[in-house]
Amino acid sequence: MHVLVVNAGSSSLRVDLVDPGSGARAAGARVERIGAAARVLWGGEEGAAADLPDHAAALRAVLPRLVEASRPVAVGHRVVHGGERFSAPVLVDAAVEAAIEALAPLAPLHNPANLAGIRAARALLPDVPHVAVFDTAFHATLPRRARTYALPLERAERHGIRRFGFHGTSHAFVARRAAEWLGEDLRDLRLVTLHLGNGCSAAAVEYGRSVETSMGLTPLEGLVMGTRGGDVDPGALLALARAEGLDLDGLDDLLNRESGLAGLSGIGNDLRDIEERAAAGDDRCRLALSVSAHRIRKYVGAYAAVMGGMDALVFTAGIGENSARVRHQVAQRLEFLGARLDEDANRDARVTPERPVVLVSEPHSRVRILVVKTDEERAIAEEAVRAAGRRDRVEAGRIPIAVSARHVHLTQEAVEALFGAGHTLTVHKPISQPGQFASEEKVTLVGPRRSIEGVRVLGPTRRACQVEISRTDEFHLGLDAPVRDSGDVANSPGIALEGPAGRLVLREGVICARRHVHMAPGDAARLGVADRDVVEVAVESEGRDLVFGDVLVRVSPDFVLEMHVDTDEANAAELVPGTAGSLAPSGRHGRLVRRQTRYDPAEALTPPRLGEKIPG
């Protein structure tokens, strides 16, 4: 099977017929300078001139020949900006087109062109499902602290000013490929992925979710790029504007087209030319390379700190895959993180479709350093098949919602340290999950800033201590707790616990529990999900449903069906009926909306049936 992948630029069009299982291209075409002296290029052939005034004409010129090679089962469209609305690929209909059009102010050079390609392709292939795949979607999991600018909040919210991130399709693709090569589940890894091309970005991928990325509201923020400077003090821009009389258009040209490697080197943005001139002694070119590598290295260290460490560092895209010098310079001084570059392997590294991942770290390096070949067209094709085949579909069913207040899990040794030798937990009342209970015992949480008294201990005892709090509790205590799955306490902050018989200092163990749904295998089969799936859940209300995203599914024969949210989330959804215990039913229900497919293996892809009625 093949997917037609459409990437429409402002005056260009790239169309590939891609096998999503292997990434092989059955055919491809490029159209340049649409609306002017257009040229059509087929593979490696010389371009032929054509009169193509718009994207519709360009698609009409190339589609017949492409479709002759293979009838596509779906059409995948790259869309640069999905805003806050689109956190995953979506089947295109009139409402989706309107939403993409409404997001044009956030990506004025890209979204209108992307939309033109969608409309033209839908008109020419009306019986094939069309799927929009958004560059920003992978970064929809950025926590509030990472996506928020320190600007007046009311103004920022009024105009939608926040960090979105880009290159998400590539970051997600290479993160999956790295995990597959390492033989690990992506949801068990902390990765820093570096997409280094003419446009550059870094991402912190913690347990399968993007939790930080270098680009922001626009692709201008972050790393040094071909013609974009990345992070710049806004005061420097104000000073330049005043000194040179630049208006907003002048600043736009300066930031987007005259800065970065081109501005520093003075010879353009091609890294190969810059490296050649630097080797010949050109000081400006040497400075350009040094500034760029320094910036990347700074982000790698920062992202390792954000995640509490990293398991692998991934280089990808044109520069990341092909420049041994850039990889060498970035990896310098990362030994303190456990990342040790093998210089010989780095110099010899070549990634190809047949060998898409190469290890370039030393055998004893704790952090693996990988070069991974990205393939955004294949990634779009995979996502299109998943969405068109409705692999995100879930079955209807009501899910009880319970509010999980702050609570503590203890080991038996901790119980005795806090309540006395030989003490065992006393059942206060059972809670919803079989065998678990709220105990009579309570402790005081002592943070760097304040304390919280009367925090309930849940039983039975566990193999490790864990303290689950809300963001409000976190601020009150003076801690910075990560959002984690229950039981994942590595590199989390510690805290002091006080009980009637003593005081216990935990070196780690404080988390904000990730929202999750417990269910038995029968419930999972009925709802069409599996253990560790990630889903969206709509909370039933009299008005518009509130949808919780990034909800983890946990399946076990020992569980009963119930979704757990913390008190902050419950307040936001107006769920709390006066929660006094550690876990209280809210009296409200949710329903599954859809499941994420990013963790599905590529070999599980199944094509949609042509002509099938696609549900809205």
Instruction: Return the pLDDT at 547.
Output: 79
pTM of the model: 0.82
pLDDT for residue 207 is more than 70: yes
C-alpha–C-alpha distance, residues 254 and 231, integer Å: 13
Question: Taking the domain 168-374, which CATH number applies?
Answer: 3.30.420.40
H helices, E strands: number in the chain:
19, 29
Mean pLDDT in residue range 109-121: 88
Taking only the tens place, the pLDDT of each residue in 470-502 is 889 998 999 988 888 888 888 889 999 999 999
CB atoms within 10 A of CB 353: 12
Amino acid sitting at position 4: L
Instruction: Return the pLDDT at 581.
Output: 40
Query: Considering the chain, what is the average pLDDT of its residues?
Result: 88
Which residue from 87, 30, 23 is spatially nearest to 547, judged by alpha carbons? Answer: 87
The arrangement of strands across the sheet holding 312-316 comes to: 209-213, 200-206, 190-196, 312-316, 368-372, 357-359
DSSP SS3 for 47: coil
Q: How confident is the model at residue 393 (pLDDT cuts 50, 70, 90)?
A: low
CATH of 3-159, one of 2.20.25.650, 3.30.420.40, 3.40.50.10490, 3.10.129.10: 3.30.420.40
Q: Do residues 378 and 23 lie in contact, with contact meaning Cβ atoms separated by under 8 Å? A: yes
- Between 549 and 130, the more confident residue is 130
Q: Which has the minimum average pLDDT: 16-20, 400-404, 519-523, 581-585?
A: 581-585
pLDDT for residue 615 is more than 50: no
Residue 468 per-residue DSSP state: E
Instruction: Return the pLDDT at 597.
Output: 60
Active-site position among 16, 135, 311, 392: 135
| Whole-number percent of the chain with pLDDT over 90 | 56
CB atoms within 10 A of CB 614: 18
Q: Do residues 558 and 569 lie in contact, with contact meaning Cβ atoms separated by under 8 Å? A: no
Taking only the tens place, the pLDDT of each residue in 295-331 is 999 999 999 999 989 999 999 999 999 999 999 999 9
Q: How confident is the model at residue 507 (pLDDT cuts 50, 70, 90)?
A: very high
Instruction: Return the pLDDT at 402.
Output: 83
C-alpha–C-alpha distance, residues 192 and 177, integer Å: 13
Q: How confident is the model at residue 107 (pLDDT cuts 50, 70, 90)?
A: confident
C-alpha–C-alpha distance, residues 311 and 340, integer Å: 12
In Å, what is the CA distance from 402 to each residue of 503, 527, 579? 31, 19, 10
- 594-612: buried (b, 16+ CB within 10 Å) or exposed (e) per residue? bbbbbbbebeebeebeeee
Residues with Cβ within 8 Å of residue 492, at least 6 apart in sequence? 308, 481, 482, 484, 508, 509, 510, 511
Phi, psi of 452 (to 5 degrees): -130, 120
- Between 425 and 67, the more confident residue is 425
- Between 602 and 296, the more confident residue is 296
Mean pLDDT in residue range 360-366: 95
Instruction: Return the pLDDT at 428.
Output: 93
Residues with Cβ within 8 Å of residue 440, at least 6 apart in sequence? 425, 426, 427, 428
In Å, what is the CA distance from 544 to each residue of 396, 400, 538, 595? 18, 18, 10, 20
C-alpha–C-alpha distance, residues 388 and 608, integer Å: 6
Vertex 339: Cα angle to 293 and 231 (nearest 5)? 30
In Å, what is the CA distance from 320 to each residue of 201, 261, 329, 341? 11, 15, 12, 14
- Between 209 and 47, the more confident residue is 209
DSSP SS3 for 295: helix
Q: What is the residue extent of each domain of the chain? A: 3-159, 168-374, 405-513
- Between 551 and 465, the more confident residue is 465
C-alpha–C-alpha distance, residues 205 and 300, integer Å: 12
User: 3-159 and 168-374 share one CATH topology?
Assistant: yes
Which pair of tokens denotes residue 515? 């929202």
Which pair of tokens denotes residue 133? 């795949």
Mean pLDDT in residue range 578-582: 40
Taking only the tens place, the pLDDT of each residue in 265-300 is 999 988 989 999 999 999 999 999 999 999 999 999
Can 392 be counted among the known catalytic residues? no
CB atoms within 10 A of CB 566: 23
C-alpha–C-alpha distance, residues 384 and 376, integer Å: 12
* 581 DSSP β-pair partners: none
DSSP SS3 for 437: strand
Instruction: Return the pLDDT at 506.
Output: 95
pLDDT for residue 579 is more than 50: no
Phi, psi of 13 (to 5 degrees): -150, 130
Taking only the tens place, the pLDDT of each residue in 151-190 is 999 999 998 899 999 999 999 999 999 999 999 999 889 9
Q: How confident is the model at residue 550 (pLDDT cuts 50, 70, 90)?
A: confident
C-alpha–C-alpha distance, residues 358 and 305, integer Å: 25
Q: Do residues 391 and 383 lie in contact, with contact meaning Cβ atoms separated by under 8 Å? A: no
Instruction: Return the pLDDT at 280.
Output: 94
C-alpha–C-alpha distance, residues 52 and 370, integer Å: 42
Q: Which has the minimum average pLDDT: 21-25, 563-567, 608-612?
A: 608-612
Instruction: Return the pLDDT at 5.
Output: 94
pLDDT for residue 395 is more than 70: no
Residue 361 per-residue DSSP state: B
C-alpha–C-alpha distance, residues 424 and 213, integer Å: 46
Instruction: Return the pLDDT at 585.
Output: 52
C-alpha–C-alpha distance, residues 17 and 66, integer Å: 7
Instruction: Return the pLDDT at 584.
Output: 52
Taking only the tens place, the pLDDT of each residue in 212-253 is 999 999 889 999 999 999 999 999 999 999 999 999 999 989
- Torsion on CA atoms 447, 451, 452, 458, rounded to nearest 10: 40
Q: How confident is the model at residue 407 (pLDDT cuts 50, 70, 90)?
A: very high
| Whole-number percent of the chain with pLDDT over 70 | 90
